[in-house]
Amino acid sequence: MPILADLHNHSCLSPCGSLELSPRVLAAAAAAKGVGLLALTDHNSALNGPAFAAACVPFGILPLFGMEATTTEEVHVLCLFASLDAALSFGELAYSLLPSFPNDPERMGDQVYLDEEENIVGEVEHYLGAALDLGLEDIGPLVARYGGLVVPAHVDRPAFSMTSQLGFVTDGPWSAVECVRIPSTVLTRGYPLITSSDAHYPEHVGRRPFSLDAETEELAPGGYGRGVSLEALRTALSRRPRS
């Protein structure tokens, strides 16, 4: 039976995300919509990963960790990891590539991360909405080195997308391309297409999941506790429609 997947979601860690959207609220709302494979992708940070991992367990949701990275070109790219540790390591690197521009929570929004009990354990100092010192050419190979895969985000949107920044979808090691709508209004050059919710508020959760042609056992061959096989995910994504 195909699994319902949603690979683009924010939490209270993103400055533009609602403070109400904790990892637990995200997991619960996604579970209520039948989502079985869920990624947390805050802007340029994976620090809510530990709380998200714990939040997914009671619902039996397979978690993916990572972030929505902003490249130097201001193109948003989903960087997805099966391993929380890998996501956190990549997150540390990403933070070092972010400009040292302090966040102003009053104006830009809070950037808080939580522990497994959903207590606020910290606040990120630098503004996460800025662009990393990391170009689109380099992000794919770098994420691969950390064991992750990359999916250009909302390529059909008028801001922070390949189309808005570069004019078109460029070639790269993309496991899929995320669109707001399928069929896409822009040329996607044969990459597998997905939609996802890009939730910033609780009411956005589960608004655009997609069907992934894979059994749970295939995606998590070692059982739930061993997490997702990224190879299996890549294979399943390759079966998605390409136009």
Residue placing its CB nearer to another protein in the complex, 5 or 130: 130
Rounded alpha-carbon distances, angstroms, from residue 49 to 115, 186, 202 = 9, 32, 18
Residue placing its CB nearer to another protein in the complex, 115 or 133: 133
Closest contact distance (angstroms) between CB of 45 and another protein is 16
Please state, in angstroms and rounded to a whole number, the distance separating the CA atoms of residues 232 and 227.
11
How many residues touch another protein under the rule CB under 8 A: the total is 16
Secondary structure string (H, E, C) spanning 100-157: CCECCHHHHCCCEEECCCCCEEEECCECCCCCCCCCHHHHHHHHHHCCCEEEECCCCC
Contact flag: residue 129 with another protein (CB under 8 A): yes
| Residue from 53, 119, 113, 120 nearest 87 by CA | 53
Please state, in angstroms and rounded to a whole number, the distance separating the CA atoms of residues 219 and 236.
8
Contact flag: residue 108 with another protein (CB under 8 A): yes
Residue placing its CB nearer to another protein in the complex, 38 or 94: 94
Contact flag: residue 101 with another protein (CB under 8 A): yes
DSSP 8-state secondary structure symbol assigned to residue 181: S
Q: Which stretch binds another protein (CB under 8 A): 57-65, 104-112, 190-198, 232-240?
A: 104-112
The answer to whether the bond into 183 is cis (omega within 30° of 0) is yes
The mark string for 212-241 relative to another protein (x by CB under 8 A, - otherwise) is: ------------------------------
Residue placing its CB nearer to another protein in the complex, 101 or 221: 101
List the Cα angle 65/69/75 in 5-degree steps. Answer: 140
Residue placing its CB nearer to another protein in the complex, 185 or 238: 185
Strands 193-194 and 177-178: parallel
Contact flag: residue 180 with another protein (CB under 8 A): no
Please state, in angstroms and rounded to a whole number, the distance separating the CA atoms of residues 151 and 232.
16
Binder of another protein out of 21, 47, 128, 131 (CB under 8 A): 131
Q: Which stretch binds another protein (CB under 8 A): 41-49, 124-132, 147-155, 193-201?
A: 124-132
Rama region for 229: left / alpha / beta (φ>0; ψ in -120 to 50; rest)? beta
Residue placing its CB nearer to another protein in the complex, 60 or 99: 99
The mark string for 73-92 relative to another protein (x by CB under 8 A, - otherwise) is: xx------------------
Contact flag: residue 167 with another protein (CB under 8 A): no
Binding stretches for another protein (CB under 8 A): 70, 72-74, 99, 101, 104, 107-108, 127, 129-131, 158-160
